Each structure stands twice: as structure tokens, then as C-alpha cells.
């Protein structure tokens, strides 16, 4: 049952990416006599509000907000601090092979992030396994750190292979040349919950740095339900955005990053 709830929770979070709506039916309706005693633990996770900010609904308490968020207290959580001197030298990982087309976009602010929903067939081959691009969204500051260093923004390209296998390509932003996507859309990003529908077709691959080598480890979604289903690829080469763009976007994103989680014995690999 937990597995089923987890899968439902993952699918829901990827559709809504954590918006606090109540649109998905409960997977299980507890019997009335036990419902009262299990009121807190059995609460429908879709009704649960959570926050990136410290407090009752904050990251340190996500695991206790409802049963479906239990993974937030798991041993393979994301983000992590990537220590480059500890990278496993044994891995034979290769650079991603992209099969992306130009895609229609829909920009949504769901209250937790600004997200570009993608339609169309965009796949990436990661070490022999195909994953389909679903959406990308942003965090400020970065969620991962590299040798303890935070970057001002991190973008996550979320891909799916199966119901329980996801791959996220994470990219850091540093201050530099203006970012073309931001130049085009930053003024249209919804500053509170809402969406911007565009007729434009975006060449998603053109948003990536030319060097696509990465750090790799097994982790989780960084927002509830924190499911441990993500094959993480954090690109080594950062993207750039201007100081003004970073300031403007960071204000909208409002510190939507999860604190660093312990490695708990996991190893980090890399492609060269
Ligand atoms: Zn993310």
C-alpha cells in the first residue's frame, strides 16, 4: 500500500509540483472508527500545506506532515553537498545523449517554484536508459552545493523513465552574461500563483551549457513527498544570468531551496 501511495504521491507532485490543491482522490478511505485516531497520520497529503521556510510546515518537519511524506526522513535524500575530492573514480559514466525537439511551453508559478511545463517528445539517453522530459523549474539559492559553495539559482530538468525511475538534470547559475530565456520571459513569470501560456516553441537544448558532463548520485525529489526515485545528474558547468536577472528572479522564488541532506554512505560518480 505504501508503494502505491508513494507512486500516487510522485505522480501528483510532478503534475502539480507541490501546489497545495486537493484534486486527487484518496487512494484509501480509512474506516470511520479508526479515522479519528489516525487523523493526523492518515491525512490526505494533497491537503497538506508545506513550506520551504523554517517552522511548523518547514523542511525539518515535512516527514511528519502526513504518511505520504515519510520519505522526507529517509536515508537517500536530496540535495547534497558534492565534494569533488571524494568523487568515485570507478564509474564509467558517459555524457548524456539528447533527443530534444522544439517544445511548446507553459510557465506556471505553483506557489513553490516557477515551472516550465513541456509538451512533446523530448528524451535523453543517460548511460543506456531513456528518460522523457516532463518539466523544468527553478530554485534560489541553489539546492546542491559543490565543495560547500552555494550558487544563486539552480534549475532542475525533470525526466521520467517509469513510475519509479526519474532523472533530474540540475544546473547551477552564476553571475555573468544575461540569460537568454530570462531576458525573454522573466517579465512574464507569474510573481504569485498563476500561469503564462505561450505560443512560442522553445529549443530546450539551447538552454544547456555546451559541456554537459555531470556529477551523479542516487537521491530524491527535493520537495514533498521526497520520494527516493531520482537518478541525479548535476552538471559541472554553470549557466549565467545577469546580476539584475538573479535579483529579480530570486525575489519571485523566495528562498525555495531545501537544506543539504546527509550523504549516508552514498557515493557520487561523474562523467568526464
Ligand atoms: Zn527542483
Q: What's the 11 CA to ligand 1 centre distance in angstroms? A: 15
Shared-domain flag, residues 67 and 133: no
What is the separation, in whole angstroms, between the first and last Cα of the chain?
41
How far is Cα 215 from Cα 207, in angstroms, rounded to an integer? 19
Shared-domain flag, residues 39 and 146: no
Other C-beta atoms closer than 10 Å to the C-beta of 168 total: 22
Segments in the chain forming alpha helices (H): 2-16, 32-35, 62-65, 180-185, 243-253
Other C-beta atoms closer than 10 Å to the C-beta of 144 total: 25
Q: Active site residue: 52, 53, 112, 139, which one?
A: 112
**C-alpha cell, 5:** 501511495
Per-residue pLDDT of the chain (272 residues; tens, 9 = 90+): 445 545 555 554 554 444 444 333 344 444 444 444 344 444 678 889 999 999 999 999 999 999 999 999 999 999 999 999 999 877 789 999 999 998 888 999 999 999 999 988 999 999 999 999 999 999 999 999 999 999 999 999 999 999 999 999 999 999 999 999 999 999 999 999 999 988 888 999 999 999 999 999 999 999 999 999 999 999 999 999 999 999 999 999 999 999 999 999 999 999 98
**C-alpha cell, 20:** 497545495
Shared-domain flag, residues 168 and 89: yes
| Strand 269-270, strand 214-219: pairing | antiparallel
Q: What's the 79 CA to ligand 1 centre distance in angstroms? A: 9
How far is Cα 71 from Cα 240, in angstroms, rounded to an integer? 33
CB 230, CB 266: distance < 8 Å: no
Q: For residue 10, give its domain range.
A: 2-73
Q: What's the 221 CA to ligand 1 centre distance in angstroms? A: 7
Q: What's the 30 CA to ligand 1 centre distance in angstroms? A: 32
Q: What's the 36 CA to ligand 1 centre distance in angstroms? A: 35
CB 150, CB 141: distance < 8 Å: yes
Shared-domain flag, residues 46 and 131: no
Longest dimension (CA), the chain: 61
Three-state SS for 161?
Answer: strand
Last residue of a domain, one of 12, 44, 73: 73
| CATH assignment at residue 140 | 3.10.200.10
How far is Cα 266 from Cα 142, in angstroms, rounded to an integer? 21
Q: Which helix (H) or strand (E) holds 124?
A: strand 123-126
Shared-domain flag, residues 151 and 206: yes
How far is Cα 249 from Cα 182, in angstroms, rounded to an integer? 9
The residue assigned the cell 557515493 is 267
How far is Cα 92 from Cα 86, in angstroms, rounded to an integer? 16
Shared-domain flag, residues 113 and 140: yes
Three-state SS for 91?
Answer: coil
Phi then psi for residue 247, to 5 deg, are -65, -45
Q: What is the pLDDT of residue 40?
A: 45
* Residues with a beta carbon under 5 angstroms from ion ligand 1: 156
CB 103, CB 119: distance < 8 Å: yes
Q: How many domains does the chain have?
A: 2
**C-alpha cell, 174:** 552564476
Phi then psi for residue 24, to 5 deg, are -100, 135
Active site residue 233: no
Q: How many CA atoms lie within 13 A of 118 on its CB side?
A: 23
Give the predicted TM-score (pTM) of the model.
Answer: 0.87
**C-alpha cell, 227:** 520520494
Shared-domain flag, residues 103 and 229: yes
Last residue of a domain, one of 40, 73, 106: 73
Amino acid at each position: 500500500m505504501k508503494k502505491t501511495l508513494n507512486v500516487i504521491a510522485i505522480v501528483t507532485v510532478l503534475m502539480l509540483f507541490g501546489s497545495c490543491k486537493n484534486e486527487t482522490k484518496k487512494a484509501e478511505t480509512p474506516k470511520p472508527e479508526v479515522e479519528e485516531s489516525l487523523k493526523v497520520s492518515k491525512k490526505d497529503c494533497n491537503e497538506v500545506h508545506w513550506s520551504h521556510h523554517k517552522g511548523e510546515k518547514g523542511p525539518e518537519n515535512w516527514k511528519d506532515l502526513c504518511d505520504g511524506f515519510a520519505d522526507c526522513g529517509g536515508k537517500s535524500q536530496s540535495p547534497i553537498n558534492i565534494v569533488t575530492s571524494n568523487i568515485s573514480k570507478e564509474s564509467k559514466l558517459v555524457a548524456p545523449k539528447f533527443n530534444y525537439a522544439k517544445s511548446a511551453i507553459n510557465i506556471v508559478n505553483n506557489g513553490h517554484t516557477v515551472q516550465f511545463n513541456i509538451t512533446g517528445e523530448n528524451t535523453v539517453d543517460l548511460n543506456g536508459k531513456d528518460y522523457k522530459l516532463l518539466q523544468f523549474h527553478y530554485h534560489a539559492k541553489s539546492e546542491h552545493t559543490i565543495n560547500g559553495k552555494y550558487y544563486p539559482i539552480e534549475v532542475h530538468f525533470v525526466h521520467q523513465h517509469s513510475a519509479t525511475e526519474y532523472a533530474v538534470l540540475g544546473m547551477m547559475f552564476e553571475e555573468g552574461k544575461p540569460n537568454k530565456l530570462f531576458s525573454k520571459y522573466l517579465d512574464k513569470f507569474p510573481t504569485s500563483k498563476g500561469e503564462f501560456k505561450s505560443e512560442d516553441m522553445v529549443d530546450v537544448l539551447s538552454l544547456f551549457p555546451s559541456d554537459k558532463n555531470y556529477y551523479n548520485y542516487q537521491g530524491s525529489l527535493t520537495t514533498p513527498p521526497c520520494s527516493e526515485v531520482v537518478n541525479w545528474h548535476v552538471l559541472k558547468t554553470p549557466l549565467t544570468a545577469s546580476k539584475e536577472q538573479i535579483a529579480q528572479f530570486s525575489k519571485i522564488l523566495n528562498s525555495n531551496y531545501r537544506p543539504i541532506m546527509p550523504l549516508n554512505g552514498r557515493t557520487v560518480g561523474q562523467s568526464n
